[in-house]
Amino acid sequence: MSMTFNRKLPIPKEVKEMYPLTEEIKTVKAARDKQIEDVFTGKSDKFLLIIGPCSADNEDSVMDYINRLAKVQEQVKDKILIIPRIYTGKPRTNGTGYKGLIHQPDPTKSEDMLEGIIQVRKLHTRAIAETHLTCADEMLYPENYRYLSDLLSYVAVGARSVEDQHHRLVASGMECPVGMKNPTSGTLSVMFNSIQAAQAKHTFIYRGWEVVSDGNPFTHAILRGAQNKHDQTIPNYHYEDLKLCCDMYLEKGLANPAIIVDTNHSNSGKKYLEQVRISNEILHSMRHSKEIRDVVKGLMIESYIEDGNQKIEEGTYGKSITDPCLGWEKSEKLILEIADQL
């Protein structure tokens, strides 16, 4: 019942100095951030697609995938902004299994957190350099955000973290939009409390410092479905769910009302092929209601090169080793279909 302190890790400032960004990457990042911010403020009517693997498990296959996305982005650039998912830390329901690139740069080898931090920064940097697409990651560990704060254009807080005060306070000081998922119970008031907290200013302890945050006006809702006490999944992407969420936004009076709908997880019951049907239903709801169209800013889709998922030892290139994902051919077709409906 103790912890062994293996080694002291470099602070984010040191890692950023070791692996600095080029002026070109900084320029691309600033331009992308403005485009994404304009969607949340309503200045732009482009639709966000936060799309990619459940977990970024292999640099080569992830970059292969993002380069494919970049080509499709060019085709749909007038209607859609694609934000690739590079999710490098994975919350595990029972604490076991692959916890992401930050833990294991090579899923077949033992954990190495220092190498993980370095590889995660390199991967996000490479994605921008090669494709000019800035990416999204999940804030599993709030302390790690500063290693990537100059690279990320979007951050998600997961269903199991959304009630945690530290996540909420750190989100209030982030310089990019942060999506707060509804908890696994599905209770929307918990999600809205998290959004309200993150939009406010705070003084708190972070990485050994007393810090003051300005509040993040681009903190928003992610609807990902729920589970009841019988472990049955309860979707919350239907028209009535979207209308309820819009009404709660009006009641709360929060800045920049926005909903991103997660088409997998408890919305699909992890039946990954259902993401196509779910996406189309959400677009139908948006056509039916201007209120929903104005507040639903995008979709979150789990997608990779190959359909489904696998065990780590199977080693199929571009196939998820965590939750099942939509394969590339289906994903490309879906993106183009979404663009046609906008």
Could you tell me if residue 90 is inside a domain?
A: yes
pLDDT at position 94 is 83
AA identity, residue 293 = R
Strands 202-206 and 209-213: antiparallel
pLDDT at position 44 is 98
pLDDT at position 108 is 92
DSSP state of 70: H
Could you tell me if residue 4 is inside a domain?
A: no
What does the block give as tokens for 122?
């390199």
pLDDT at position 92 is 80
Could you tell me if residue 1 is inside a domain?
A: no
SS3 242: helix
pLDDT at position 76 is 98
What is the rounded CA–CA span in Å between residue 43 and residue 257? 13
* Verdict on whether the full-model pTM lies above 0.85: yes
Neighbours of 81 (CB within 10 A): 22
Could you tell me if residue 2 is inside a domain?
A: no
AA identity, residue 264 = N
Furthest CA-CA distance within the chain: 57
Strand runs labelled E in 214-265: 219-223, 226-227, 233-234, 259-262
Q: Cβ distance 321 to 311 under 8 Å?
A: yes
CATH (domain of 322): 3.20.20.70
C-alpha atoms less than 13 angstroms from C-alpha of 16 in its C-beta half-sphere: 12
Number of compact structural domains in the chain: 1
SS3 327: coil
Q: CB under 8 Å, gap of 24 or more: what pairs does 152-156 form?
A: 152/124, 152/176, 153/29, 153/32, 153/33, 153/36, 153/83, 153/177, 154/36, 154/50, 154/83, 154/178, 154/179, 155/179, 156/50, 156/181, 156/222, 156/300
Domain of 203 in residue numbering reads as 12-341
Could you tell me the CA-to-CA distances from 238 to 67, 223, 242, 279, 283 in Å, in that order? 32, 10, 6, 10, 10
Could you tell me if residue 3 is inside a domain?
A: no
Could you tell me if residue 252 is inside a domain?
A: yes
pLDDT at position 1 is 73
pLDDT at position 317 is 97
pLDDT at position 95 is 77
* Closest C-alpha to 331, from 66, 12, 7: 66
pLDDT tens for each residue of the chain, 342 residues long: 799 999 999 999 999 999 999 999 999 999 999 999 999 999 999 999 999 999 999 999 999 999 999 999 999 999 999 999 999 998 887 878 899 999 999 999 999 999 999 999 999 999 999 999 999 999 999 999 999 999 999 999 999 999 999 999 999 999 999 999 999 999 999 999 999 999 999 999 999 999 999 999 999 999 999 999 999 999 999 999 999 999 999 999 999 999 999 999 999 999 999 999 999 999 999 999 999 999 999 999 999 999 999 999 999 999 999 999 999 999 999 999 999 999
Could you tell me if residue 7 is inside a domain?
A: no
* Closest C-alpha to 35, from 121, 132, 131: 132
Could you tell me if residue 323 is inside a domain?
A: yes
pLDDT at position 325 is 97
Angle, alpha carbons 246-93-69 (nearest 5°): 60
